[in-house]
Structure 1
């Protein structure tokens, strides 16, 4: 498969995954707020339940804001850009795993292959930063060979 097409698929899957997480979190906030509001009209003995729902709502709001920040960062990437060296926005295929340097999202599947969407702040990125196809790097006492960068 052409690298640009593959990169676009990986980018779109990462975007879809984050957008889905944002929607799920937004709905969780609404549910927690609604549940807390329902407890307002009940006896004072239920105040602790209301407080729990409000705490959940606050927790989900923090998660939601973090996801929105990740979406902002991801949207700064142009999936049409091609890279020769490993840097923010590149996809990296090694003899051990496939990675997309973007945000700390974790594992996604694209066309049956596993991809790790990683932040440029993680140690493995530091180990391979600036390298190109054919280069090797050591991470966790294991040698990795870069097969392709796009």
Structure 2
């Protein structure tokens, strides 16, 4: 199961890296547009264009901060440790599906098994935290049993 945990972690890390690369490219493009917009002398149209680019840059900056938070969460995960209590980095097998408590990435298929990478602040993540094998909880009208924790 350690290999699976490493593969899940690597998938999450790749997800964050790709998102970071996209945002950094966007920021670079906005910066380049701002520089070329500065050379223009079209009056009001020029100012409107600059304002729009500034807003885009602020939005990209906020997205960059979100990605950095995801990186911080991943940095807290030790893929080589396990616990009998569900915590950040746990793989949880339940009666309805398998979860990897890390960051919200969604469905991941590893070695023909499906896992859902979820964050601790999601509704189901909050319900899973602190539970142990054999515990039950209700989610979306389903009674779910925790069958195994890795």
Q: TM-score, normalised by structure 2?
A: 0.87
Root-mean-square deviation (CA, aligned residues, Å) is 1.7
Query: Structure 2: which 5+ residue stretches go unaligned?
Result: none
Report deviation, 1:126: 2.7
Q: TM-score, normalised by structure 1?
A: 0.87
Q: Deviations over 1:32-86 (max 9, x none)?
A: 1111211111122222112111211110111011101210121121111112221
Task: State the alpha-carbon separation in 2 of the partners of residues 96 and 134 from structure 1.
Answer: 14
Task: State the alpha-carbon separation in 2 of the partners of residues 108 and 12 from structure 1.
Answer: 14
Q: SS where residue 110 of structure 1 aligns?
A: strand
Query: Structure 1: which 5+ residue stretches go unaligned?
Result: none
Give 2:82's aligned residue.
Answer: 82
Task: State the alpha-carbon separation in 2 of the partners of residues 147 and 57 from structure 1.
Answer: 46
Give 1:66's aligned residue.
Answer: 66
Query: Is the CA contact (8 Å cut-off) linking 2:136 and 2:146 kept in structure 1?
Result: yes
| Greater mean alpha carbon deviation, residues 20-29 or residues 129-138 | 129-138
